[in-house]
Every structure is written in structure tokens, then in C-alpha cells.
Chains A and B, each alone.
Chain A
Amino acid sequence: MTVSFRDKLLEELRAEAATVSWEPLPARRPARHLVTAAGLGAAVVAAVAVAIPLMWDAPAFAVVKNSDGTVTVRINEFVRPKELEKRLREAGVRAVIDYVPYGQTCREPRGENVPQPERMPLRHTEDSPGFRIDPKDIGPDETLVIQMHSANGDPAKSNGGSVAVIRGPVASCELVPAKFTGEDRE
């Protein structure tokens, strides 16, 4: 019996499928200019890796509510995450923020990830360092989960991080060694 085109193509696709990464969701590389070589491709399972723009000569962080309902956030030092969470909550954004040591990451999954990037919760601001969050992008039962890799809170030694939106409960961050996974990119 001859093998049909359908089955031969299935074989080809199976071989091709064996060469790609089947991580649950794509990890995007942080913007290159903000990433140290060692941190490239930090494993961000089921989340979108971002580089959060930083400012050097300002308070540790700033949360500003804009007239259009969005919230502008600037992080200058990776310190006092609980305080930042509180400030964000006051501005209408439920968030969980973890600053994790370099080479470590929070165990995944931390909850039910909301697919991205259709609902990309962070927008980079054109005119100033920092990023903008529209609270409307985050549903009532959803939480913005930001994880930044840092070295003793020093943003200069950061290698990016990840942002996710999780529906329902968010597991607290259990530190595990970061795996540096490859991505299949064309």
C-alpha cells in the first residue's frame, strides 16, 4: 500500500515539530539595549519578557494616574515591591511584583495565564521613560504579574524580566533556578 501525500506530509511536519520549542507561550526577548549578554533569553515561561525602561536620578519608583485613566509607572530601583504594589492598587491596578535575584525565577505556572500579546498590559511611553498601564486592560479577576531580575536592586545589572496577566489566584513566587530556553524564531 502506498503512503498518501497526507501521511508523508504528516511525517515531514512531525520531524519539523520535533525541532521547535513547545513551551506553553512565547518568550519574547527583552529589548536588546537594556539587556546584558548573560541575561539574554531569560526563561520567561508563559509570559512576555520585557525590558522596563529605567531612570537613574529619581525616587525609587513613581506611579502617576493620568487624565485618560491610564497609569504611568517608572521604576528606578528594584526595591520595596510591596509598596509599589500598594501604590498601583491605589491607582486601580491589581499587581503582584517580584524582584528576583539574577539566575533565578519564579516557579511556573503561577496561575492561569491570560494569552498575550493581544492584551499587552504594558505600553511603553513614547515621551518618557517608564511604561503605561491601562487598568481597563486587566479584568476584575485578573492580576498583572511583573517579575524583574535584579542584582541587589541595582537596575544597571538587571537583565529584563517578565510581565504576565493571570486570571484568578496568583501563586506566591517560589524561587527556582532560571532555565535559559531557546526559542524557535525564523
Chain B
Amino acid sequence: MRLKQVEPASPLARAQAFEAFYLRHFDAMTRFVARRTGDPQAVADLTAEVFLAALHSRHTYRPGRGSETGWLYGVARNVLSAQRRRSEREARAVERVVARRLLDGDDLADLTDRIDAEEPARRALSAMAGLAEGERALLELVVIDQLTVAEAAQALGIRVGTARVRLHRARRTLRNVPGVSAALVTEGL
């Protein structure tokens, strides 16, 4: 029986494709991290960690199951929450091996600019701190990181319908919080 060759559809199926994937998402990932940490060296470390994690878990990305963006944000969230759980000692061990040795003065300036640019987003994130975890995580990805609801649902491993319900509930809660920007609670964003 003759078979036509099937090209792997995954953007992560080949080393070269992975490089293109990295270049496609580098800017968005540094911004994602910069919204969550104020330290340029930590931004560099975590960005490196996110892409290392993406490389090593590339098999978990299924092109048919959603966008690569949604998947990568899921990976990034896992990296960041693992980083929050890590003890100081472990964090120092990671620092020794990852990205800050790659940074020079220009890079630091550039990352600092990104961190400054994300200051409003960090303020918004802290305003959302009072929400239930599931609602907060979703609102973060949709409003702050500008993912679609479907991508955010994929990043969090929940159904799109569940995501819509949570998003609605989160916005309703935030409407009653003084000082929350209108953008956070506007439906349809």
C-alpha cells in the first residue's frame, strides 16, 4: 500500500522549527514575565526557563488541540508558579545555570524598559489578587496577556465554556472593587 508522506504539523517537531517558534514568541514571553517580576535578571532567567521547559515538554503540544500560544502560556504559568514555590536555595542554584550570565548592559536596559512598560499591568494584576485563583488566572491571561478565551482556557487546561463562566464571575466581582480599571471588567475584551 502506498502512503503519502505526512509532514508533522507541529511547530515543535523539528529543531529548526523550535527556533522559529522561539523567535515568534520571545517578545511576548519577556513581556509576560516582565508583568510578573520587576527584576531584569529574573525576567531573563524566567524567559530562559520557559523556553527550556517548552523545549523539553514539546511533545505535550498537540496542534489539533489549540494554538501554540495557549500551550506556551500554560508552560510559562507552570514555570512561574514553580519558581514561586522554590526555596531560595534552589532558586540560587537555578540562577547559576541560566540566563543572567547572558546579560550585558544593553540587555539589562532593554529588559528594564520592558518591565517599566508593564508597570500598569503589574498594578492591575495586584488589584486582581483578591479573586479566587481560578478566576484570577483566567482574567490575567485574557485581560493582561491578551490571550483569546480559547487560548487562556487551553493554557489553564479548562473548557472554553468553563472559562467564559469564570471570566464573567471574575468581572462581576471586580466591578465592586474600588479603583479597578474599567478595562478589567469590560465584557467582550
Q: Which residues of A contact B (CB under 8 A)?
A: 2, 4-6, 8-10, 12-14, 16-18, 20, 22, 24-26, 109-113, 115, 118, 169-172, 184, 186
Contact partner, B52, options A10, A16, A111, A115, Cβ 8 Å: A16
What separation, in Å, do the CA atoms of A184 and B18 have in the docked complex? Answer: 16
Determine the distance from Cα of A16 to Cα of B59 in the docked complex, in whole angstroms.
Answer: 16
Q: Are B14 and A22 in contact (CB under 8 A)?
A: yes
Interface status of B39 (Cβ within 8 A of chain A): no
Q: Does B6 contact A (CB under 8 A)?
A: yes
Task: Tell me the nearest residue of chain B to A109, going by C-beta.
Answer: B6
Give chain B interface residues in 36-81, CB to chain A under 8 Å. 44, 47-48, 51-52, 55-56, 59, 62-65
Decide if B131 is an interface residue (CB 8 Å cutoff). Answer: no
A2 touches B104 (CB 8 A): yes
Whether a CB of chain A sits under 8 angstroms from the CB of B99 is: yes
> Is B18 in contact with A13, judged by CB distance below 8 angstroms?
yes
Other than the known A2-B104, A115-B62, what 11 A-B pairs have Cβ atoms closer than 8 Å?
A5-B99, A9-B26, A9-B44, A13-B51, A13-B55, A20-B55, A22-B15, A109-B3, A111-B3, A115-B63, A115-B64
When distances are taken between beta carbons in the complex, the residues of chain A under 8 Å from B19 are: 10, 13-14, 17
* Dominant secondary structure at the B interface: helix
Choose, from B105-113, B136-144, B166-174, B179-187, the stretch at the interface: B105-113
Distance between Cα atoms of A18 and B23 in the complex (Å) = 17
**Are A17 and B107 in contact, CB atoms less than 8 angstroms apart?**
no
Give the chain B neighbours of A113 by CB distance below 8 A: 6
Contacting pair B22 A10 (CB below 8 A): yes
- Please give, as numbers and ranges, the residues of chain A lying within 8 Å of B15 by CB-CB distance: 14, 17-18, 22
A25 to B104, CA, bound (A): 38
Binding site for A on B (CB under 8 A): 1, 3, 5-6, 8, 13-15, 18-19, 22-23, 26, 44, 47-48, 51-52, 55-56, 59, 62-65, 99, 102-104, 106-107, 110-111
Q: Which residues of A contact B110 (CB under 8 A)?
A: 4-5
Instruction: Kindly list chain A residues whose C-beta atoms are within 8 Å of the C-beta of B55.
Output: 13, 16-17, 20
In the complex the two chains form, what is the Cα distance from A18 to B47 in whole Å? 19
- Tell me the nearest residue of chain B to A46, going by C-beta: B8
How distant is A185 from chain B, measured CB to nearest CB, in Å? 9
Which residues does chain B contribute within 8 Å of A172, judged by CB atoms?
1
Chain A residues with CB under 8 A of B5: 109
A5 touches B111 (CB 8 A): yes
Known: A109-B3, A115-B64. A9 touches B13 (CB 8 A): no
Contact of A118 among B6, B65, B102, B106 (CB under 8 A): B65
A-B pairs with beta carbons under 8 Å apart, 15 shown: A5-B99, A5-B103, A6-B26, A9-B44, A9-B48, A9-B51, A14-B15, A16-B55, A17-B15, A17-B19, A18-B15, A22-B14, A26-B59, A115-B62, A115-B64
A24 and B107 CA atoms in complex are apart in Å by: 35
B99→A9 contact, CB < 8 A: yes
Residue in B1, B8, B18 whose beta carbon sits within 8 Å of that of A24 in the complex: B8
Q: Is the CB of B18 within 8 A of A110?
A: no
Assess whether A171 is in contact with B1, with CB atoms less than 8 Å apart. Answer: yes
| CB neighbours of B44 from chain A (8 A) | 5, 9
Chain A residue contacts of B65, Cβ below 8 A: 115, 118
Tell me how far the C-beta of A173 lies from the nearest C-beta in chain B, rounded to whole angstroms.
11
Q: Are A9 and B102 in contact (CB under 8 A)?
A: yes
Given contacts A12-B102, A13-B52, contact A25 B18 (CB under 8 A): no
**A4 / chain B contacts, CB cutoff of 8 Å:** 106-107, 110
